[in-house]
Amino acid sequence: PSAALREQARAHQAQLTKPAGALGLLEDLVIELAAMQHCLRPTLERVQISIFAADHGVAAENVSAFPQAVTAQMVDNFARGGAAISVLATELDAHFEVIDLGTMLPSAPHARVRRERIAAGTANFAQDAAMSAAQLASALGSGHAAVQRARAQQAQLFIGGEMGIANTTSASALACLLLDAEPQALVGRGTGLDDAGLAHKISVIGHALDRHRPHCGTPLEALARVGGFEIAALCGAYIAAAQAGLPVLVDGFICSAAALAACRLQPGVRDWLLFSHCGAEAGHARLLEALRARGLLDLQLRLGEGSGAALALPLLRLACRLHANMASFAQAGVSGRD
Amino acid sequence: PSAALREQARAHQAQLTKPAGALGLLEDLVIELAAMQHCLRPTLERVQISIFAADHGVAAENVSAFPQAVTAQMVDNFARGGAAISVLATELDAHFEVIDLGTMLPSAPHARVRRERIAAGTANFAQDAAMSAAQLASALGSGHAAVQRARAQQAQLFIGGEMGIANTTSASALACLLLDAEPQALVGRGTGLDDAGLAHKISVIGHALDRHRPHCGTPLEALARVGGFEIAALCGAYIAAAQAGLPVLVDGFICSAAALAACRLQPGVRDWLLFSHCGAEAGHARLLEALRARGLLDLQLRLGEGSGAALALPLLRLACRLHANMASFAQAGVSGRD
């Protein structure tokens, strides 16, 4: 991001007909977008939403309230327009695509679904490493390729989303490794576990961490040991977006875990990330803290699919319009402070 | 609001392809809108934004960082499209009007400005009652009339906004009377007072409350003693909207004080109010607590003008679209919980 544009945008904000700082976080956001887009009046008309879907071997440990078949079923639902993120993408006039990185059951062919299947889900990380180094490279590459498509579309913002039954288990384990934390502090109810289910999930993750921790000295090793194809793809996408100078709006808990992995791999990635919300999952606030970030929304969301980022997009767009279209004190003939 | 529609909408939400409750506060909001609009799939396409502007005699006590001339200047700025709420109203395709209830300096004639001037500002409530009973009735009536215009436009949502230099002083005093609280707990920096300015504002309000409290047994007496024309108009508008069954999206601190006055006058008003945000002004959270409300946004906004409500509107609209357009588990062939 450009420090010069950041200062120009800040000076422009200070002239608009409102008390200084009266638009709160929206002022900070638009100033940062100006620095990212190298443009005094940033815009977010062209947005790409890429949803990465994959299954997780650890679902065999009964860590989710939903059966594993739902991942492929939801890929179909994304494509046919019935899922939350499909409805939001239409309303927001965003470019929307789904990338099947490996569901257990095959998803139906559909023009909106890219089939970049790595395997029929990861291995069960309660027993083995979730994926091989080659599989990790493929997943990172799928994320990278999604950002290249966004650039080809001249997208001004990239939103990544995810779908994968049991992927809060994977993201929680990854967060524990990256933050050197115990699962009690980070693990939540996912799609809706009860107390017993939550205790079991914590136990499964705890035992898996005992097994994998000695082999997770780097973020890539942690991703391969306990991550998912979609989580690795998001990590790859965030790194590619930063390299391309494309702003990213990060969704919820799982995306934030991928974002932290990306920032640990390349600290410069952080400068290109905006954070849409702090959701209901227990570890989300801890991840945002580690990323020195504050979410724009706090609506107790826990859906994933990129839906929190999509919901925050209108606020960012309005912030851009206010910044671009409000009159200055001089233009409007309004007196400044006494 | 209709209890039957509330239950129908809740049952419909439970069938949509997402974990129960995964859209958090947005689910509660759309269910409540369904009950208000007597409609399983509520919509918020037609929205009226009415901005009430008036000056405050208490500005003579140096309680604002901006000169009193700004009120009329901002009325012109609203009308010509340069203010934040003007930009937002355009982006949101809302019906937008400004009602001049009495600025100190005259505002320029403009098609978008209704001139319903009661006086060239209220009296200084540090010395006298802010307004007479007749003036209070006029202000309440202006609010009522704005809602009748909204109904004539077939509005599905009413947003009120306010402009008036020193009106956080008036709203803070009103909140102290309604909540039986001391100013230290409720008074904030308004448009940007420094520490000395804040202490002075608290002192001015404290002395005025000593004078007026014995005469403020009812919410109407409190409004007349320390309120403003625009605050009374908002109170009248909220009561009229509830009577008409028109949902209201309440803006910030000043609108919340008017909303509390309205609910004290007629408790049934509360059922028709949605709350857009919790702003930066100190007393806002206290008012929301008294109203048993939670704001949708928390962006450290402190602009007024209805801007916080306008910024929250896209979230409500998206919540309606998700509710209306998402597929059910049965439609999409997605499995439910194990």
CA distance A55 to B314: 33
pLDDT of residue A269: 98
Which of A50, A36, A28 has its CA nearest to residue A258?
Answer: A50
Residues A90 and A26 in one domain: no
CA distance B21 to A281: 13
Residues A106 and A158 in one domain: yes
B43 contact A CB<8A: no
Q: Is residue B51 part of a domain?
A: yes
pLDDT of residue B138: 98
Partners of B333 on chain A (C-beta within 8 Å) are 73, 76
Which whole-number Å values give the CA distances from B287 to B31, B114, B279, B295, B305, in the listed order?
24, 30, 11, 11, 18
- Contact flag B23-A301 (C-beta cutoff 8 Å): yes
CA distance A165 to A72: 10
Instruction: Count CA within 13 A, CB hemisphere, residue A333.
Output: 10
Partners of B301 on chain A (C-beta within 8 Å) are 22-24, 26
- Contact flag A318-B311 (C-beta cutoff 8 Å): yes
Bridging pattern class, strands A95-102 and A248-250? unpaired
CA distance A284 to A280: 7
Q: Is residue B286 part of a domain?
A: yes
AA letter at A285: A
pLDDT of residue B16: 98
pLDDT of residue A244: 98
Taking a C-beta distance cutoff of 8 angstroms, is the pair A305, A161 a contact? yes
B325 CA: distance to closest CA in chain A (Å)? 7
B214 contact A CB<8A: no
The domain that holds A247 is classified in CATH as: 3.40.50.10210
Residues B145 and B286 in one domain: yes
Between residues 181 and 200 of chain B, which touch chain A (CB distance below 8 Å)? Answer: 191-192
AA letter at A84: A
B302 contact A CB<8A: yes
Residues A309 and A222 in one domain: yes
Residues B34 and B130 in one domain: no
CA distance A246 to A38: 11
Q: Is residue B338 part of a domain?
A: no
Q: Is residue B72 part of a domain?
A: yes
B71 contact A CB<8A: no
Q: Is residue A66 part of a domain?
A: yes
User: Cβ of A338: how many Cβ atoms within 10 Å?
Assistant: 11
Residues A19 and A156 in one domain: no
Q: Backbone phi, then psi, for A154, in 5-degree steps?
A: 55, 35
Which tokens is B288 given?
């929301």
A273 has which bridge partners? A248
- Contact flag B327-A25 (C-beta cutoff 8 Å): no
Q: Is residue A61 part of a domain?
A: yes
Taking a C-beta distance cutoff of 8 angstroms, is the pair B65, B201 a contact? no
- Contact flag A77-B298 (C-beta cutoff 8 Å): no
B234 CA: distance to closest CA in chain A (Å)? 21
- Global pTM reads 0.97
pLDDT of residue B294: 95
Find tokens 């500005």 and name the residue: B59
Which of B312, B313, B290 has its CA nearest to residue B301?
Answer: B312
CA distance A245 to B145: 51
Q: Is residue A337 part of a domain?
A: no
Residues A66 and A120 in one domain: yes
What residues make up the domain containing A296?
A: 47-316
pLDDT of residue A107: 86
Residues B190 and B245 in one domain: yes
Which of A318, A251, A338, A310 has its CA nearest to residue A87?
Answer: A310
Residues B24 and B54 in one domain: no
Q: Is residue A338 part of a domain?
A: no
CA distance A146 to A51: 10
Between residues 317 and 336 of chain B, which touch chain A (CB distance below 8 Å)? Answer: 317-318, 321-322, 325-327, 331-336
- Contact flag B19-A80 (C-beta cutoff 8 Å): no
Residues B22 and B139 in one domain: no
Residues of chain A with pLDDT below 70 are: none
Residues A104 and A85 in one domain: yes
Facing A84 at nearest CB: one of B66, B91, B326? B326
Instruction: Specify the number of domains making up chain B.
Output: 2
Which tokens is B168 given?
């956080």
Could you report the per-residue pLDDT of A208-250, keeping only the tens digit for each?
999 999 999 999 999 999 999 999 999 999 999 999 999 999 9
Which of A229, A283, A224, A227 has its CA nearest to residue A256?
Answer: A283
A27 is catalytic: no
In chain B (338 residues long), the average pLDDT of successive 10-residue segments reads 98 97 97 98 98 98 95 97 98 98 93 97 98 98 98 98 98 98 93 94 98 96 98 98 98 98 98 95 94 96 97 98 98 90
* Residue of B61, B97, B230, B305 marked active site: B305
- Contact flag A318-B91 (C-beta cutoff 8 Å): yes
Q: Report helix, strand or coil for A192.
A: coil
The domain that holds A21 is classified in CATH as: 1.10.1610.10
CA distance B223 to B262: 10
pLDDT of residue A239: 98
Which tokens is A280 given?
């209901």
Taking a C-beta distance cutoff of 8 angstroms, is the pair A51, A97 a contact? yes
B63 CA: distance to closest CA in chain A (Å)? 11
Which whole-number Å values give the CA distances from B284 to A159, B226, B277, B290, B293, in the listed order?
33, 18, 9, 10, 11
A118 CA: distance to closest CA in chain B (Å)? 23
Give me the interface pTM, i.e. the ipTM: 0.97
A211 CA: distance to closest CA in chain B (Å)? 29
Residues B302 and B168 in one domain: yes
B60 contact A CB<8A: no
CA distance A294 to A298: 10
Partners of A191 on chain B (C-beta within 8 Å) are 19, 22, 337
Which whole-number Å values give the CA distances from B127 to B56, B119, B131, B165, B215, in the listed order?
12, 17, 12, 18, 14
- Contact flag B327-A299 (C-beta cutoff 8 Å): no
Interface test with A, best of B12, B13, B18, B165 (most A CBs within 10 A): B18
- Contact flag A332-B300 (C-beta cutoff 8 Å): no
H or E element: which one contains A110?
Answer: none
